């Protein structure tokens, strides 16, 4: 029966009549079925080996389909926009600059919104004439020559994705006006960023410094910075640039053919900015302001005392002698660092640098002056330590010493004097003897004197955390031969022994020196920044005292010199401090300087005498006598400081 239910004909061999044709057909059928069977067996036997490439093909097909789907559906809009002239480029997310705080937490430098007129070179037209038209339009808008705009915009090539500032620190009103006028100009925008605002506390500009737009010289120092970056140019802003700056972020954006942002894209390379670290200083804002006022008033008083109206310059520095923490640093005249934060004009800048009083010059760290008699405590330590004299050594000190035709005078006949009284009365003859020899004293000689200058930190940078610093000058026979072409004489040794001659120091060096005497002999580097904290307030680094020498001399020698400095207040040239509620020890100085009959007024001191908390150095350039001019300034500083503490 066939598949439809019909009875099948008998096809058995016994009922069939054999024929040639039938045999041929039968043979053909058998052969075909055998071939088919053989093929089926081969396919079945190879099924396992066939599965692996089949699965790979399926996987490849799925991936291809997914990519096709993403390109057509997910990124279809981006592709369409790019076809219309849109671009995808990175946009920098500016890191917030760290804040600077005083010791009480009051801000000294912070961030405020600012606006710049900027271009993105990569978004400018490729056609040169079209670019020139844009530069001309910008020139008409902001008043900058079009050639200068072109030079600035194309300084780093036309492929740069970094924005380039054409005009910095435009006002809010200007930004709104510019945005209206630049509408439709490809590659041009008003960029918002943060700018610095500085406290108006007097005398802080030399400490804080200022920020400015990056220069070619800056790029060599900071090769990873952008052409639109603002960074520290002086003061702490420069010294701690790497800490304050933070790390910029980035995001991928799509812009249209005119440079307008269409949207921010999700991208694996996007990253958030990391804010810069903040600084907390040892400096106290209120103390700084009062020290600046006391110094300014002292300069005016010096004019009255000397009759010299040209007196304009001075320094007052206050430090904790135990930690090296700088509590106040004032150099006058000063300047307004907000002028730089807001983009100083060329006229304003030229006015500052051409000012004869040099307001941008930090006299505390860069000023080099003969120290006069404030070097005598150091000379006393050296003489005692080297055995040139003993604590009880005393001899008659006449009003002058004659060496051949040369006269080395003193301001009076002191009579028989010991070391403590010599310090208190500022006895020149006694210290001529310590340096070059006289009467019972052999004298140290210039080479040994120079060793002791160096032990107290003279002749090198003080180590204060401010960029750049003068080292001063420590003269010796080799220096004189090379510089002047003359030999070194005994008179040269006499001069430097009382802080005259060619010896030059900075006020911060002398503060470091007197602090070593105050604290018992420990040489500590001055430090302005107390700690560094991240944006969350976590302390990143706390500065410990940087002790350069645990003991420059034995404690008994230092104590002898301290007693002499105390007598300067009780019986010497600083007696006006004797009625203060705190015990003070100090040394006055009146230093002559070459080419001028004027003298610098110096005073160094520390208080309280038994357990010093502060060391103070005051200098008034050309101010006359230290006891008349510098001591009253120091008195006001000490009076204010201890009144606030108690």
Cα(352)–Cα(356) distance, rounded to whole angstroms?
9
- Which pLDDT band holds residue 93 (cuts at 50, 70, 90)? confident
Output 514 or 265, whichever has higher pLDDT: 514
Tabulate helix, strand, coil % of the chain (nearest 5): 40, 20, 40
Question: Which phi and psi angles does 58 have, rounded to 5°?
Answer: -65, -45
Least confident of 22-36, 431-445, 623-637: 22-36
* DSSP-assigned letter for residue 543: P
**Spatial contact of 512 and 457, defined as CB atoms under 8 Å apart:** yes
The residue to which tokens 């301001």 are assigned = 411
Q: How confident is the model at residue 313 (pLDDT cuts 50, 70, 90)?
A: very high
- CA-to-CA distance for 344 and 349, rounded, in angstroms? 6
| 196 within 8 A of 202, measured Cβ to Cβ | no
Q: Looking at residue 333, what DSSP letter applies?
A: S
Token reading at 258: 């005119």
Under 8 Å CB-to-CB from 198, ≥6 apart: which residues? 108, 109, 204, 205, 208, 210, 337, 338, 341
Q: What are phi and psi of 274, to 5 degrees?
A: -115, 120
> How far is C-alpha 55 from the geometric centre of its chain's CA atoms?
63
How far apart CA 290 and CA 557 sit, in angstroms, is 35
Rounded Cα distance, 279 and 44, in Å: 80
Max intra-chain CA distance, the chain: 167
- pLDDT surpassing 80 at residue 156: no
The class of domain 88-281 in CATH terms is alpha beta
DSSP state letter for 538: -
Handedness of CA 146, 147, 152, 154 (dihedral sign): positive
Kindly give the pairing relationship between strand 278-281 and strand 100-101: parallel
What is the pLDDT averaged over residues 345-355?
92
Q: Mean pLDDT across the stretch 102-110?
A: 98
Residue 246 near residue 95 (C-beta atoms within 8 A): yes
Give the HSE-up count for residue 597: Cα atoms under 13 Å, Cβ half-sphere: 2
> Could you tell me what percent of the chain has a pLDDT over 70?
86
Query: Which residue's entry shows tokens 């930004």?
Result: 175
CB atoms within 10 A of CB 631: 26
Mean pLDDT estimate for the chain: 88
DSSP 553: S
Judged by average pLDDT, the poorest of 244-248, 495-499, 634-638 is 244-248
How confident is the model at residue 72, as a pLDDT? 53
Instruction: Choose among 553, 462, 522: nearest CA to 321.
Output: 522
Strands (E), 94-187: 100-101, 107-119, 164-170
Alpha carbon distance 427, 414 (integer Å): 7
pLDDT digits (tens, 9 = 90+) for 570-618: 999 999 999 999 999 999 999 988 666 789 999 999 999 999 999 999 9
Q: What is the pLDDT of residues 44-90, one digit of tens each?
A: 444 545 456 666 777 777 676 665 555 555 444 444 544 445 678 78
Going from N- to C-terminal start, the domains of the chain cover 88-281, 285-290+306-335+368-645
Q: What is the pTM of this model?
A: 0.82
Q: For position 264, what pLDDT does the model report? A: 80
The tens digit of pLDDT for each residue in 362-376 reads: 999 999 999 999 999
Give CA–CA dist 464/207, Å, rounded. Answer: 11
pLDDT in tens, 197-231: 999 998 999 999 999 988 888 888 888 888 778 89
Asked whether residue 379 carries a pLDDT value surpassing 70, the answer given is yes
Residue reference for tokens 């610095």: 196
Please give the pLDDT value at position 74.
46
Confidence at residue 453, expressed as pLDDT on a 0 to 100 scale? 99
C-beta separation of 332 from 358 below 8 A: no
pLDDT at residue 174, rounded to an integer: 92
Q: What is the CATH topology of the domain spanning 285-290+306-335+368-645?
A: Beta-lactamase (3.40.710)
pLDDT at 23: 44
CA–CA distance, 324 with 519 (Å, rounded to integer): 11
| CA Rg value for the chain | 42
Domains 88-281 and 285-290+306-335+368-645 equal at CATH topology level: no
Residue 240 vs residues 105, 133, 234, 237, 244: alpha-carbon distances, Å? 18, 42, 10, 6, 6
């Amino acid at each position: 029966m066939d598949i439809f239910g019909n009875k099948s004909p008998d096809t058995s061999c016994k009922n069939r009549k054999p024929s040639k044709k039938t045999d041929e057909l039968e043979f053909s059928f058998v052969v075909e079925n055998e071939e088919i069977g053989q093929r089926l067996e081969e396919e079945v036997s190879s099924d396992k080996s066939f599965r692996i490439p089949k699965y790979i093909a399926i996987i490849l097909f799925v991936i291809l389909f997914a990519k096709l789907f993403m390109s057509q559906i997910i990124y279809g809009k981006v592709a369409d926009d790019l076809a219309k002239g849109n671009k995808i480029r990175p946009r920098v997310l500016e890191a917030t600059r760290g804040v600077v705080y005083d010791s009480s937490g009051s801000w000294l430098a912070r961030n405020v919104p600012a606006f710049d007129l900027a271009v993105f070179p990569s978004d400018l037209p490729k056609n040169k004439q079209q670019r020139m038209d844009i530069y001309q339009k910008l020139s008409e808008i902001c008043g900058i020559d079009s050639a200068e705009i072109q030079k600035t915009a194309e300084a780093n090539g036309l492929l740069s994705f970094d924005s380039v500032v054409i005009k910095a620190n435009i006002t809010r009103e200007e930004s709104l006006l510019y945005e209206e006028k630049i509408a439709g100009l490809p590659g041009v925008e008003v960029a918002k960023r943060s700018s610095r605002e500085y406290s108006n506390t007097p005398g802080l500009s030399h400490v804080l410094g200022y920020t400015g737009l990056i220069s070619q010289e800056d790029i060599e120092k900071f090769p990873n910075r952008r052409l639109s970056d603002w960074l520290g140019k002086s003061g702490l802003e420069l010294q701690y640039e790497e800490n304050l700056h933070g790390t910029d972020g980035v995001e991928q954006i799509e812009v249209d053919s005119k440079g307008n942002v269409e949207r921010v894209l999700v991208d694996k390379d996007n990253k958030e900015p990391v804010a810069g670290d903040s600084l907390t200083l040892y400096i106290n804002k209120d103390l700084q302001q009062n020290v600046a006022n006391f110094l300014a008033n002292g300069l005016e008083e010096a004019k009255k005392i000397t009759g010299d109206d040209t007196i304009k310059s001075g320094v007052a520095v206050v430090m904790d002698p135990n930690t090296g923490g700088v509590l106040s640093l004032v150099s006058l005249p000063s300047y307004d660092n907000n002028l730089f934060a807001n983009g100083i004009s060329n006229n304003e800048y030229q006015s500052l640098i051409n000012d004869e009083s040099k307001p941008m010059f930090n006299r505390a760290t860069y000023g080099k002056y003969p120290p006069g008699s404030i070097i005598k405590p150091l000379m006393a330590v050296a003489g005692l330590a080297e055995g040139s004299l003993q604590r009880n050594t005393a001899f008659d000190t006449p009003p002058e010493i004659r060496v051949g035709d040369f006269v080395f005078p003193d301001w009076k006949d002191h009579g028989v004097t010991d070391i403590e009284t010599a310090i208190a009365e500022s006895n020149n003859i006694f210290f001529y003897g310590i340096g070059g020899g006289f009467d019972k004293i052999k004298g140290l000689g210039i080479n040994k004197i120079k060793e002791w200058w160096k032990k107290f930190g003279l002749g090198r940078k003080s180590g204060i955390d401010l960029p750049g610093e003068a080292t001063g000058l420590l003269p010796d026979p080799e220096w004189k031969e090379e510089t002047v072409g003359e030999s070194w004489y005994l008179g040269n040794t006499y001069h430097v022994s009382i802080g005259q001659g060619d010896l030059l120091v900075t006020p911060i060096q002398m503060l470091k020196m007197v602090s070593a005497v105050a604290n018992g002999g420990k040489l500590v580097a001055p430090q302005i920044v107390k700690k560094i904290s991240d944006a969350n307030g976590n302390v990143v680094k706390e500065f410990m005292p940087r002790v350069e020498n645990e003991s420059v001399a034995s404690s008994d020698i230092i104590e002898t010199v301290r007693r002499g400095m105390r007598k300067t207040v009780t019986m010497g040239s600083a007696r006006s401090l004797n009625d203060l509620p705190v015990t003070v020890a100090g040394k006055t100085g009146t230093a002559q300087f070459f080419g001028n009959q004027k003298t610098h007024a110096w005073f160094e001191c520390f208080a309280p005498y038994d357990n010093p908390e502060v060391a103070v150095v005051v200098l008034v350039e050309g101010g006359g006598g230290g006891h008349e001019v510098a001591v009253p300034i120091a008195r006001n500083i000490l009076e204010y400081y201890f009144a606030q503490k108690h």
